[in-house]
Amino acid sequence: MRFTDKSIVVTGAGSGIGRAAARQFAAEGGRVVAADLTEGADETVRMIADAGGTAVAIRIDAGAEEDVARAVALACDRFGGLDIMFANAGISGGMANIFDTDVALITEVLRVNLIGPFLAIRHAAPEIAKRGAITGKGGAIVLTASVAGIRSGAGSPAYSASKAGVINLAQVSAQQLSGSNVRVNAICPGLTETGMTKPTFDYARDAGKMDRVGRLNPLRRGAQPEELAEVALFLASDAASYVNGQAIAVDGGLSSSHPVTKQEYGRTAV
């Protein structure tokens, strides 16, 4: 019960990693504000309530300042303050190359994927610091970046640039929050079965090609949302009390290597 009586905001809580994290936070005693642009947040809250947890839903645009401020205010009003922010909401922006990417598209991707986490830090950090000053304990902000933000090859130019920005934002904000006892870290998922990637997984299942999903990483599979949520919860917990300003890749080992000739276990592939 790592999060007993902790007040937590999760954006993008209507599906995927956000839903998995919200449910796990609540299962471990947390009181969760499940924020999402869709009605999926209501379903997440129903799941949490059915399991005996505490949560409230709010419909927000994670890239709109007024909406992010409303989510933080709801946590403070309903649960007496804020301890943890998991800024997880994001969009893919498709797979167009640089020359086919419309300026309006990349602007929207950056608004949600990068400005969204910026707003989450801007509004959550002061409340988390305030709560920490009262309780004597620190708090945490976790951002969802991506392996696409580490290097090329895992996403479109718009998506990759936005996630690279999230990684740097975690580093810069950790420094600028020095002395506040508010930690900021990011997770960098690899291929994970979420609403965003559902078409890829559905196609692979229908075509009998699930063995090809995630085949470029050493574990040779995609991830489930719960596997990413576990790392986010670790970073939000007191167990990560000395982890700050980091971007943790959770990608089955994909980002551990540059492209090389593949090897089968125990022998060289030809």
Residues 6+ apart with CB under 8 A from 195: 15, 16
Per the annotation, the verdict on 159 as an active-site residue is: yes
**What are residue 55's phi and psi, to 5 degrees?**
-160, 155
Of 26, 75, 71, give the one whose Cα is nearest residue 51.
Answer: 26
Question: In sequence order, what DSSP letters do the residues of 42-97 get, joined into one string?
Answer: HHHHHHHHHTT-EEEEEE--TT-HHHHHHHHHHHHHHHSS--EEEE-------S--
> To which residue do tokens 């982890």 refer?
243
Give the helix ranges, DSSP H, for the chain.
16-27, 40-50, 65-79, 103-110, 116-135, 157-176, 198-206, 225-236
3-state SS class at 261 = coil
Name the burial class of residue 58, with classes exposed (0-12), middle (13-18) and buried (19+) by CB atoms within 10 angstroms of its CB: buried
Structure tokens at 44: 């997440």
Task: Return the number of other C-beta atoms located less than 10 Å from residue 117's C-beta.
Answer: 33
Residue 133 phi, psi (nearest 5) = -65, -30
| Residue 131 identity | R
Strand partners, 142: 86, 185
| Catalytic option among 159, 203, 242, 265 | 159
Distance CA 24, CA 27 (A): 5
Catalytic residues: 159
